[in-house]
Amino acid sequence: MKHNEGRRKREEGRRKREEGRRKREEGRRQEAEGRRQKEGGRRQKAGGQKARKKE
């Protein structure tokens, strides 16, 4: 075993975890944007108190 193999494996694992986290965060951001757009449309449609309740 080379002297830096353990470190390399640790760094590879960390890189994979960070990539997964980044992908999840991007998905969550897109989902939130879609939800915001949908909510905006709903708020415009509903009249008076109904719209205020959802906020």
- Average pLDDT score over residue span 9-16: 94
Task: State how far the alpha carbon of 49 is from the alpha carbons of 6, 41, 44, 46, 53, in Å.
Answer: 61, 16, 12, 8, 6
Q: What is the residue range of 22's domain?
A: 5-54
| Number of separate domains in the chain | 1
**pLDDT number for residue 43:** 58
Whether the pLDDT of residue 54 is over 60: the answer is no
Whether the pLDDT of residue 12 is over 90: the answer is yes
Whether the pLDDT of residue 15 is over 90: the answer is yes
pLDDT tens digits, one per residue of 40-51: 555 555 556 655
- What is the value of pTM for the model shown? 0.43
pLDDT tens digits, one per residue of 18-35: 999 999 999 888 888 877
